[in-house]
Structure 1
Amino acid sequence: MDYRTLNFDWNRAKAFLVTAEKGSYSAAAKALNLTQSTLGRQVQALEHELGVVLFERTGKGIQITPIGLDLIEHVKTMAEGASKLSLAAMGQSEDLEGLVTITASEAISAFQLPQFVKKIRNLAPGIKIEIVARNESADLRKREADIAVRNYRPKQPDLIMKKVSDAQGNFYATKEFIKNNGPFKTIKDLSKANFVSVGDLSGYIEGLKPYGLNLTKDNFSIMTESHFVHWNLVKDGLGIGIMPNCIGDKDKSVEKVLKSFKGINFSTWIVSHRELKTNRRIRFVFDQLVEYFS
């Protein structure tokens, strides 16, 4: 290799990559915790170093140039290599202290993880826990989190995963809603009721068909992306919602709509990157999560 050809700054390449992915200097600056002017200077410096134009102004926005599109794939490869280097280095740590980031859905983060964090604080006070509550999946390979609690089996081959439970969710509503809109004696009776959806509506409808419930968009007068908003709307009597039994059964403001319905099946998986599994503090938290959710 001719090392003299490595004549640009990786931080500038990273600024280019994030700007291309985010689509604007402002969004990229926010993601990298930089000022917009600093990020702009880094991109301009990279353009000067390489002797190319990476972005063009289009009105109030920017658009990546054809040569920028060619180069971005090489920068992505560099980013993956840098990420693997960071993961491998972290995997050598033997300290039972430091930060561990856990990502989970809003519902799991709010209703199930607090007691787990309390347990970790008692067992290993040197470990700091950051909870990333998000309903879309974080990319563990890009270090968006160290460990994930998921309700599906991940498909990526470079992840370590442990299935910890098979559980069930159910339909919940307030007593007043059930009284005013029922009776609901069979699953088909629910097809005439109002629901509060969470997340992708089409996926929500399709996911209920195997249980004999054929809903349409007319059943959903209220939709949200947030589990918190969804659950509060249900508790305010605005429709039927779905929640894991371990959460819904504890809430006295609602009850199961169908007593005879066996439930909606789902599994819980604890997931981490395979190289992070050799890190002592992350391995410790991983194992404790497996025990807790089992």
Structure 2
Amino acid sequence: MDWDKLRIFHAVADAGSLTHAGDTLHLSQSAVSRQIRALEESLGTTLFHRHARGLILTEQGELLFEATSSMARKLDSASARIKDSEENVLGELKVTATVGFGTLWLAPRLVKLYRKYPDLKIDLILEERVLDLPMREADVAIRMKEPSQSDLIRRRLLNIRMRLYATTEYLAHAGTPKTMEDLAKHRIICQKTDQPQVAAGARLVQEVMAQNVNSTLTVNNYFGVLQSVLAHVGIGVLPDYLTADHPELVRVLDDTESGEVPVFLAYPEELRQTQRVAAFRDFVLEEIQAYRRYQSENSNAH
């Protein structure tokens, strides 16, 4: 089978249009069309249904596109491994994480990784949706639960809990609650329970809101909750890892917290030897160790 024709077929199937594929490949529409016809003739089958709105894969076309997609992923992986070297970590690294952890913990630390590897290009994808790593929607993921796919290398980084925090200034003005019932007199800042978030956090929010709280501020991500707490607006439901970077946060009701939430690092088996993935993994593990030391020193101090 002609590799060049397969490459052109893959571009057409991906774009759904001869014109768009031609633009990507720097070929004329007629040249692309000739190659597709020649491929269909060599296979003795029709690969596309042709419509006024574009091209739709036939069943046979879907089978071939699945095969060329797999080839493309393997070629990308091989290309990345060839470009990488022991001394030279470079190229693009797609990292996915939840909005909260990615914004509040990961992003502020990336300057250390860039200092070490200035040629690295990181594409940071922050969303609650779980991206498909084997399908290369991302190279590395930091997730709030253990990945279910079997062909992923995974490592538990730490366990976090959701807790109640405020600032000294807010507590001096509004008073410090001594019991859960006292929360009714305070403004509570949190995510709504119908927003995408870890189940343990949602349960703690429900428990807090059950205290007949009069005044609330709901935000659709933890960054907004944190900024509001730091601005002395009220008592916020926040992940405990924030205390390392924000020592001004004061914990409220020491016995009130969510269940443990595991944080996992995961990446596809085929990227095990890729230097930029290894560099990111080692960087994250070093930062987690530093965070654990901070936790240990703080707990000893108390």
Normalising by structure 1, what TM-score? 0.65
Unaligned 5+ residue runs, structure 1?
A: 20-24
Q: Following the alignment from structure 2 to structure 1, what is the Cα–Cα distance between the partners of residues 23 and 35?
A: 19
Quote the residue 1:79 is aligned against.
69
Which of these residues, 238, 242, 245, is aligned with residue 243 of structure 1? 238
SS at match of 1:291: helix
Q: Following the alignment from structure 1 to structure 2, what is the Cα–Cα distance between the partners of residues 131 and 114?
A: 11
Is 2:9 aligned against 1:16?
Answer: no
Does the aligned pair in 2 maintain the 1:103–1:132 contact within 8 Å? yes
Normalising by structure 2, what TM-score? 0.64
SS at match of 2:286: helix
Distance 1:197 1:55, change over 3 A: farther
Which of these residues, 53, 59, 63, is aligned with residue 49 of structure 2? 53
Quote the residue 2:207 is aligned against.
213
Is 2:151 aligned against 1:154?
Answer: no
Q: Following the alignment from structure 2 to structure 1, what is the Cα–Cα distance between the partners of residues 178 and 15?
A: 51
Quote the residue 1:196 is aligned against.
190
Q: Following the alignment from structure 1 to structure 2, what is the Cα–Cα distance between the partners of residues 240 and 18?
A: 49
Q: In structure 2, give the amino acid aligned to 1:291.
A: E
Q: CA deviation at 1:160?
A: 0.9
Which of these residues, 36, 55, 80, is aligned with residue 90 of structure 1? 80
SS at match of 1:271: strand
Q: In structure 2, give the amino acid aligned to 1:84.
A: K
Quote the residue 1:282 is aligned against.
277
Which entry has the higher C-alpha Rg, 1 or 2? 2
Q: Following the alignment from structure 1 to structure 2, what is the Cα–Cα distance between the partners of residues 39 and 192?
A: 65
Which of these residues, 269, 272, 280, is aligned with residue 267 of structure 2? 272
Quote the residue 1:255 is aligned against.
250
Q: In structure 2, give the amino acid aligned to 1:132.
A: L
Q: Please list the CA deviations of residues 251-286 of structure 1 after superposition, one character each: whole Å capped at 9, or x if unmatched.
A: 366533423324442222222211211123432332
Q: CA deviation at 1:161?
A: 1.2
Does the aligned pair in 1 maintain the 2:193–2:202 contact within 8 Å? no
Does the aligned pair in 2 maintain the 1:191–1:213 contact within 8 Å? no
Q: CA deviation at 1:157?
A: 1.2
Q: Following the alignment from structure 2 to structure 1, what is the Cα–Cα distance between the partners of residues 58 and 186?
A: 53
Q: Please list the CA deviations of residues 160-185 of structure 1 after superposition, one character each: whole Å capped at 9, or x if unmatched.
A: 11112223232334554896598461
Which of these residues, 122, 126, 141, is aligned with residue 130 of structure 1? 122
Q: Following the alignment from structure 1 to structure 2, what is the Cα–Cα distance between the partners of residues 266 and 111?
A: 16
Distance 1:173 1:74, change over 3 A: farther
Q: In structure 2, give the amino acid aligned to 1:78.
A: T
Does the aligned pair in 2 maintain the 1:168–1:263 contact within 8 Å? yes
Q: In structure 2, give the amino acid aligned to 1:213.
A: E
Unaligned 5+ residue runs, structure 2?
A: 41-45, 290-302
Does the aligned pair in 1 maintain the 2:97–2:143 contact within 8 Å? yes
Does the aligned pair in 1 maintain the 2:104–2:223 contact within 8 Å? no
Does the aligned pair in 1 maintain the 2:139–2:267 contact within 8 Å? yes
Identity value in percent: 16
SS at match of 2:134: helix
Q: Following the alignment from structure 1 to structure 2, what is the Cα–Cα distance between the partners of residues 206 and 69?
A: 44
Quote the residue 2:294 is aligned against.
none
Q: Please list the CA deviations of residues 65-88 of structure 1 after superposition, one character each: whole Å capped at 9, or x if unmatched.
A: 5x6577445423431332133224
